[in-house]
Amino acid sequence: MDLKAPVSTIMTTDLKTAGPDDATTVLDEIFQHNRFHHVPIIDEEKKVVGIISKSDFLYLLRGYTVHETDRFRESAKLRGFKVREIMHDKVVTIQEDEPISQAVAILAENRFRALPVVNSKSELTGIVTTHDIIDMVNELEAE
């Protein structure tokens, strides 16, 4: 793989997203049933308006244990918060035709672990993560 190749060649396209007005129960579903660590938050036009990491989500639940008596309180807490209340709304994105090297530079400079990928209309089309970069490097090493 060439670092000059477009980021679209390594991005993940099987995404789970949420809307800013969704209850945080949506995030709970996504994180429990998928191996994702970041959820892009999009509006009705598929424009990225935020992002939430699994760490941010778990921070919301801090103080709760896995005991059955806490499940009711945890569920009530999740229903009481909207995604917009915990999302990061200053999101850096990258165009799908930008080179992989640009994604690496943005991730490294900002210490991000995920970067939403958008098309020319600024609609979300994928996400590139540090895991995608590591996988790409591993493939190069195997060749």
Residue boundaries of the structural domains of the chain: 7-142
36: alpha, beta or left? (left if phi > 0; alpha if psi -120 to 50): beta
Q: Is the pLDDT of residue 137 over 80?
A: yes
DSSP per residue over 4-57, as a string?
A: TSBGGGT-B-----B-TTSBTHHHHHHHHHS--SEEEEE-TTSBEEEEEEHHHH
pTM surpassing 0.85?
A: yes
Tokens of 91: 């999101």
For 7-39, how does the pLDDT look when each residue is reduced to its tens digit (9 = 90+)? 999 999 999 999 999 999 999 999 999 999 999
Displacement of CA 35 from its chain's centroid (Å): 11
pLDDT at 117: 98
CATH topology of domain 7-142: CBS-domain (3.10.580)
For 32-87, how does the pLDDT look when each residue is reduced to its tens digit (9 = 90+)? 999 999 999 999 999 999 999 999 888 877 755 555 556 656 666 777 789 999 99
Exposure string (b/e) for 1-20, b if CB count within 10 Å is 16 or more?
eeeeebbbebbeeebebbee
Q: Is the pLDDT of residue 104 over 70?
A: yes
pLDDT at 74: 65
Length of the chain (residues): 143
Q: Is the pLDDT of residue 114 over 60?
A: yes
For residues 102-114, give the mean pLDDT.
95
